[in-house]
Amino acid sequence: MILAWVKGLHIAALILWCAGLVALPLVLSKHDVAEEQANYARLRKITHYGYTRIVTPAAVVAIAAGTLLIFLRQVFEPWMFAKLVAVGLLVALHSLVGHVVVLMSERRGEYAPPSSKPLLAVVLATMTVVLTLVLAKPVIPDLTPAWLDIPQNRQLPLEATPT
């Protein structure tokens, strides 16, 4: 029962997070340096409140619920770790979007945000990788050297800790 609630929370939060990562670059790219103050103010409010009150909290909830799911479902599998690497990239892209939101505010409308296309391409590709990994759960060979899994029974190259 708890598993269903945590997974539901995870999926609801990640839908909001991913939708925000697609919407924010599109909204930011609508800014024109020559636009009226009223339009600029509206765009600033949408992007600032969208990022700080919706998209970032959704990311935190998605990650917290996902972390709990790892332990509830005991999924310590290579596909899960590959998924975490891709999620790390999504977090980096999230920060990049936040950086553009801040630049828009600090430069008082004189900053022209970059085109949304390259950012959206990377964001969508990363989401596709994450979804493919979690839904297909592909068998990824364990690439760690065997000796890392076996106790070597060696002493630490240090003196014993003084008591």
Residues that bind ligand HEM (CB under 6 A): 10-11, 14, 18, 62-63, 66-67, 69-70, 73, 75, 84, 87, 90, 127, 130-131, 134-135
Least distance (Å) between residue 61 CB and ligand HEM: 10
Say if residue 98 is exposed, middle or buried (CB neighbours under 10 Å; 0-12, 13-18, 19+): middle
- Give whichever of 6 and 43 is closer to ligand HEM, judged by the CB atom: 6
- Give whichever of 87 and 97 is closer to ligand HEM, judged by the CB atom: 87
- Give whichever of 70 and 121 is closer to ligand HEM, judged by the CB atom: 70
Least distance (Å) between residue 131 CB and ligand HEM: 5
Least distance (Å) between residue 21 CB and ligand HEM: 9
What interhelical angle do 37-49 and 2-28 show, nearest 10? 160
Least distance (Å) between residue 133 CB and ligand HEM: 9
Least distance (Å) between residue 117 CB and ligand HEM: 20
- Give whichever of 86 and 101 is closer to ligand HEM, judged by the CB atom: 86
The angle at the Cα of 52, spanning 47 to 56, to the nearest 5 degrees, equals: 110
Distance CA(153)–CA(112), nearest Å, equals: 60
- Give whichever of 10 and 31 is closer to ligand HEM, judged by the CB atom: 10
Say if residue 83 is exposed, middle or buried (CB neighbours under 10 Å; 0-12, 13-18, 19+): buried
Question: Scanning the structure block, which residue is given the tokens 């553009």?
Answer: 100
Distance CA(5)–CA(69), nearest Å, equals: 10
